[in-house]
């Protein structure tokens, strides 16, 4: 745990301010997940997790801290994994009691969840927002009311929250662009399947990619907003295939979309004509697709679940936390997947197209064991 947590701070500009006070006991991995009895008509989008009663030391009152976790949807494996990372980390600390709510891809519902958490008097909020603008206000209100707020993965507008945790989407997009440029030898026609464009990751992954292919003869011949969802991506790809007799590469902003595009191409018997790039790199999803020869590369987008819980603990201990914690990413190809992938700065080196963006913090250059 200590090593894991220190690695988080190594990528954070202000990380040196935070020292780990002590990660001693380990709880049983069994979460105390509960759902309310059916007759109370409890919302099906709520669940709780806390450590076993005997997990805390003498100084850690069980369930002392109530954390509200507002998840924007659980329809994709990546978000299920984020909740699982939070639950598993929290299970190590008896003093944490996490209440999960799932907004089911509905912005209004997520706004309501945040307001409910505030009126329930939670000690801290973790929010993984659906969209930037509409979630900015409820998050700011909670923060101004004195509740620490950790914004996870998708950013909001302004700075009215305690800390943002996420990977660098611009850098990931740029690395994907460089990788594409190298794979296509600087020339080709491509399809871009974008994430929801009312979210910051959608914008950043697109802008970064376009920066990465600058100066090449690569043309984006078809682009569409697939709203992060595989069925939308598949449909959009069918349109692209119908319109264009030659597609050299598909850049999808997440792995579900890359998979949907592959299925559309395979149904048209054209999957071997093109290269497929995805983002997320979950072991059970994107990395498995690379192993199966479906994707040519996936760029990791870590969930930040463990880091969010550790940051919450640091806040409860009264420590200063940095405003932004930037998580590192690896990329996985058929060549490097068996050895655990490579950090994305290597994707820049491989291309020989110039150095990585110097403002970006990519940390050390050795992959995780």
Q: Which residues bind ligand FRU (CB under 6 A)?
A: 76, 78-79, 153-154, 195, 199, 201, 228, 254, 279-280, 301
CB of 139 to ligand FRU, least distance (A): 16
Smallest distance, Å, CB 231 to ligand FRU?
13
Nearer to ligand FRU, 184 or 193 (CB): 193
Q: For the CB of residue 65, give the shortest distance to ligand FRU in the complex, in Å.
A: 26
> Which of 303, 299, 255, 205 is closest to 8 using CA atoms?
303
Q: What's the min distance (Å) between Cβ of 252 and ligand FRU?
A: 10
Least distance in angstroms from the C-beta of 31 to ligand FRU:
22
User: 64 or 107: whose CB is closer to ligand FRU?
Assistant: 107
Q: What residues have CB less than 8 Å from 330, skipping those under 6 apart?
A: 281, 299, 300, 340, 341, 342, 343, 344, 367, 368
> Closer CB to ligand FRU, residue 153 or residue 168?
153
Farthest CA pair distance, the chain: 68
Long-range contacts of 183-186 (CB under 8 A, 24+ apart): 183/249, 183/275, 183/296, 184/216, 184/218, 184/248, 184/249, 184/275, 186/216, 186/217, 186/218
- Give me 187's structure tokens: 């020339």
Nearer to ligand FRU, 55 or 325 (CB): 325
> What's the min distance (Å) between Cβ of 285 and ligand FRU?
9
Which CB, 285 or 296, lies closer to ligand FRU? Answer: 285
| Residue number, 148 or 195, with CB nearest to ligand FRU | 195
Task: Pick the closer one to ligand FRU by CB: 214 or 223.
Answer: 223
| Minimum distance of ligand FRU from residue 338's CB (angstroms) | 24
CA distances from 14 to 17, 234, 323 (A): 6, 42, 8
> Measured from the CB of residue 290, what is the shortest distance to ligand FRU in angstroms?
16
Residue (98 or 233) nearer to ligand FRU, CB: 233
Q: Which is nearer to ligand FRU, 12 or 199 (CB)?
A: 199
* Least CB distance to ligand FRU at residue 309 (A): 19
Residue among 138 and 195 whose Cβ is closer to ligand FRU? 195
Query: Residue 128 CB, nearest distance to ligand FRU (Å)?
Result: 8
């Amino acid at each position: 745990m200590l090593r894991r947590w220190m690695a988080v701070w190594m990528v954070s500009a202000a990380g040196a301010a935070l020292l780990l006070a002590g990660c001693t006991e380990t709880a049983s991995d069994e979460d105390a997940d509960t759902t309310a009895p059916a007759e109370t008509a409890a919302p099906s989008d709520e669940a709780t997790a806390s450590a076993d009663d005997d997990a805390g030391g003498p100084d850690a009152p069980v369930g002392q801290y109530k954390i509200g976790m507002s998840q924007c949807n659980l329809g994709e494996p990546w978000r299920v994994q984020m909740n699982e990372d939070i639950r598993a980390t929290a299970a190590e600390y008896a003093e944490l009691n996490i209440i999960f709510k799932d907004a089911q891809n509905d912005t209004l519902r997520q706004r309501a969840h945040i307001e409910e958490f505030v009126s329930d008097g939670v000690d801290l909020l973790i929010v993984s927002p659906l969209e930037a603008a509409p979630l900015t206000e409820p998050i700011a209100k909670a923060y101004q009311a004195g509740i620490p707020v950790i914004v996870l993965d998708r950013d909001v507008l302004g700075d009215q929250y305690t800390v943002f945790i996420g990977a660098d989407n611009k850098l990931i997009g740029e690395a994907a662009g460089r990788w594409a440029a190298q794979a296509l030898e600087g020339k080709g026609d491509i399809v871009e399947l974008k994430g929801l464009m009312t979210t910051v990751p959608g914008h950043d992954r697109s802008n970064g990619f376009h920066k990465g292919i600058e100066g090449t003869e690569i043309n984006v011949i078809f682009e569409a907003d697939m709203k992060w969802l595989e069925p939308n991506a598949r449909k959009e790809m069918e349109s692209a295939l119908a319109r264009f007799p030659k597609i050299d590469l598909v850049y999808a902003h997440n792995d579900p979309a890359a998979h949907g595009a592959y299925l559309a191409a395979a149904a048209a018997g054209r999957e071997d004509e093109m290269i497929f790039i995805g983002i997320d790199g979950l072991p059970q999803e994107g990395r498995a697709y690379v192993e199966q020869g479906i994707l040519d590369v996936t760029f990791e987008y870590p969930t930040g679940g463990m880091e969010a819980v550790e940051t919450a603990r640091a806040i409860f201990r009264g420590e200063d936390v940095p405003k932004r914690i930037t998580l590192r990413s690896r990329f996985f190809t058929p060549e490097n997947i068996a050895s655990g992938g490579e950090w994305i700065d290597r994707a820049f080196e491989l291309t020989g197209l110039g150095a990585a963006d110097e403002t970006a913090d990519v940390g050390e250059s050795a992959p995780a064991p």
